Structure 1
Amino acid sequence: MASTTAASVRHVVALPYPGRGHINPMLALCRLLVAADGSLTVTVVVTEEWQALLASVTLPDRVRLATIPNVTPSERGRGADHAGFVEAVRDKMGEPVERLLDRLELRPEAVLADTFLTWALAAGARRGIPVCSLWTQPATFFLALYHLDLWPPVDGRDSQEELGIKSLEEYLPVPGLTSIRLSDLKIIRAWERKRPFEIAVEMFADVRKVQCVLFTSFLELEPSAINTIAESLPCPVYPIGPSVPQSALDGDNKIHEEEHREWLDAQPENSVLYVSFGSYIRMPPSQLQEIAMGLRDSGVRFFWVARDKAADVQQMCGDRGLVVPWCEQQKVLCHPSVGGFLSHCGWNSVLEAVYAGVPLLAFPRTWDQLVNARMAADEWKVGIDLRGQKREDGTVGRAAISAAVGKLMDSDSGVGQEMRRRAAGLREDSRCAIQEGGSSHRSFTGFLQDLVDGKLDVTGTSQ
């Protein structure tokens, strides 16, 4: 790691996107930075609402929060109007952040900005501050969006099933896109005339001008995509993942909630299916009922985080499992009784499953989740993708869910054993990557050294 003996204090400003799946990996990066460099302080800029939401989170002394007003819709309701939330972040956050930057007593040596904050590049450029972009989704999806202008047309002539077997790599001379299907492009392009898609276009015009890009993935998980990105971008690329909670890195897997711990402790090894669909995605009531009935019919033990629907879900599912509003996800995944994860396949959840060595039952809804699910099922072969089981009404029925749960959780079958073997291999790869001498450890050390040495030059950045 970089030397910590420098006399002057170094300062970095972190600008996370205001969402749980973005703030957590940004805070993980900030913890790594101050742990590795004793003369570095980090100011993390969040809304006043997010300052309150993070009140219970323990941060290192040299990671400090600074606030801007609540210029975006509340985190609690953003799933109801995701497009409106994305637009508010794009149009309303930049100005108060720039005012805060100008009030700071200590000039930052760099800005760490979530790639989705399209205004951050210009804010740094106007002040001559290097901007380092943090991508909190898979490198494979980054690579696909980077070549957005080369996507083939997806019209109505081919069925969704036909599009689902056609890889984007067949149409672009770019290695690393085998897990992207034309059916994914069709779903993403349904947003084409909407603000979020326009922002994605802006994002990948700007990312060509930043001083570096950091990835929460790791080389062994996405080697082809990461290597192709490194060859394509005009700036350095640093894969530093897997980005997982600090407690996991510290080896602290004790579950503090007594009810959760005691229930899991009473279950046989690898017998419990953990169920969670993320922090803001809302499952349609008809689909939620099919999942509950499918779990009940499977006879498999389950631990389900259902947030404000916990009481209703428990009533639907019966007493075979435990339904709770919240839990310490990484710790639950690492519990010996947990043998599978029914997930929407948000990237942080996928990384946590990989780190825990738990196979996935994928229930993706949109955006990068589609790609994440296919990588898990088809490329890494550590899961089952339920998307192909959809009926004409767009839902996955209880019978299909029950069968898939049984297949995933059957540790005696050849399929189940092979998924667990591969999941254990990825777990080992993920832990080796962040150990001293591992690929992500070397990459992070290189990033920190380049930052300290002033090699991340702002010259050439456009406003």
Structure 2
Amino acid sequence: MSYPRAKDFPGFLEAVATKMEAPFEQLLDRLDLPVNAIIADTYLDWVIGVGNRRNIPVASLWTIQTLYKALKSVSMVSKAQYLLFTSAYKLEPSVIDALKMNFCFPLYPLGPMVPYFELDPNSNLATSDDQKVPEYLQWLNSQPKNSVLYVSMGSFLSVSSAQMDEIVAGVRNSGVRFLWVSRGEKGLFEDGCGDLGLVVPWCDKLRVLCHRSVGGFWTHCGWNSTLEAAFAGVPMLASPIIWDQTSNSKKIMDDWKIGWRVKQGFEGENLVTREEIAKLVQSFMDKENTEVIEMREKAKEVQEACQAAISERGSSDSNLDFFLRYISQGHAK
């Protein structure tokens, strides 16, 4: 099934939810080896029905913040055999404990699910052969520590063009170094980025967030981006647009205390102006600001919790071992 998801993400979600079941069953029928378990996004509730009909245990994988789904009625989850979270226990302990009390099957926080194993321990350093280092990493290598604001608005949804004009102008006029990953906003930088900015069409997000020169992340608060910034210990400027992004931003600001909220702007008189944005960015990246210093310390604590969870014998590492043991021993059948 082919679908132009970047052009119509809501339509893509609808197609996956309503038209994917039959092709998926056809795929199962073609497999030579028996399927011991299915791991499926909780959003795809039809997968649980497929698994139950075929006597295949299903692990429902929450790919968004745990709290977001906990506040909603998800009737099909109770029919699964396992529940997996991309979060880590220490990131959402009260919610995970509450869910454990309401489900009779195993729950496993396995996160933060970020591709940390792909990180090169020397990724912050320029090599002798700069041809092998992407331009954006070469640029980051030349910037002072914690001086760069990384800006990424997500892959599918964005603010209005009028608001984007203000954001671009505000960031550019702030006098703060920035790396902007653009899906289409590059044309907005017709006047250039100045000496302090770089605009690229794509970058390795986790590698950038873990770079020593990156001191802040302007994000739409998608859960994957949120987890990657938490793993990297980078404070966030939260600019949510839709779905779980608003609750994710509350997690960032109120629970973890590692971010500030960008004031919500709309068309017309309610736009967040370039002057407001420039002032916000300047304050957020001010290393001498007491509030910023405290926020960076909190971000470091969250980073340590994330890395402890995925370390050998950490909570998530142990949970993954338990889950694989359950599957291999066929407990759910």
Query: Aligned with 1:113: secondary structure?
Result: strand
RMSD between aligned residues = 1.9
- Which residue of the partner structure matches residue 384 of structure 1? 260
Residues 326-345 of structure 1 aligned to structure 2 (within 5 Å): 326-345=202-221
Displacement, 1:245? 1.4
Query: Aligned with 1:455: secondary structure?
Result: coil
**In structure 1, distance between residues paired with 2:103 and 2:268:** 42
Which string of whole-angstrom CA distances, capped at 9 and with x for unpartnered residues, describes residues 335-392 of structure 1? 1110000000100001110111100000000111001111111211101011457687
Q: Does 1:402 align with 2:248?
A: no
- Which residue of the partner structure matches residue 18 of structure 2? 91
Residues 39-118 of structure 1 aligned to structure 2 (within 5 Å): 69-70=1-2, 73-79=3-9, 82=10, 84-118=11-45
**In structure 2, distance between residues paired with 1:450 and 1:227:** 20
Q: Does 1:238 align with 2:108?
A: yes
Q: Does 1:413 align with 2:283?
A: no
Displacement, 1:281? 1.6
Unaligned runs of 5+ in 1: 1-68, 147-203, 458-463
Distance change in 2, residues 1:359/1:131 (3 Å): same
Residues 36-435 of structure 1 aligned to structure 2 (within 5 Å): 69-70=1-2, 73-79=3-9, 82=10, 84-146=11-73, 204-248=74-118, 251=121, 253=123, 257-313=133-189, 315=191, 317-387=193-263, 393-435=269-311
C-alpha contact 1:293 1:317 (8 A) present in aligned 2: no
**In structure 2, distance between residues paired with 1:387 and 1:123:** 44
After TM superposition, what 4+ stretches of structure 1 lie above 4 angstroms from structure 2?
248-252, 254-257, 388-394
C-alpha contact 1:389 1:400 (8 A) present in aligned 2: no
Q: Which has the higher contact order (CA 8 A, sep 6+)?
A: 2
Which residue type is aligned with residue 45 of structure 2? T
- Which residue of the partner structure matches residue 166 of structure 1? none
C-alpha contact 2:160 2:266 (8 A) present in aligned 1: no
Which residue type is aligned with residue 26 of structure 2? R
**In structure 1, distance between residues paired with 2:222 and 2:156:** 11
Which residue type is aligned with residue 240 of structure 1? L
Query: Aligned with 1:451: secondary structure?
Result: helix
**In structure 1, distance between residues paired with 2:265 and 2:188:** 25
Identity of aligned residues (%): 43
Query: Aligned with 1:278: secondary structure?
Result: coil
Unaligned runs of 5+ in 2: 126-131
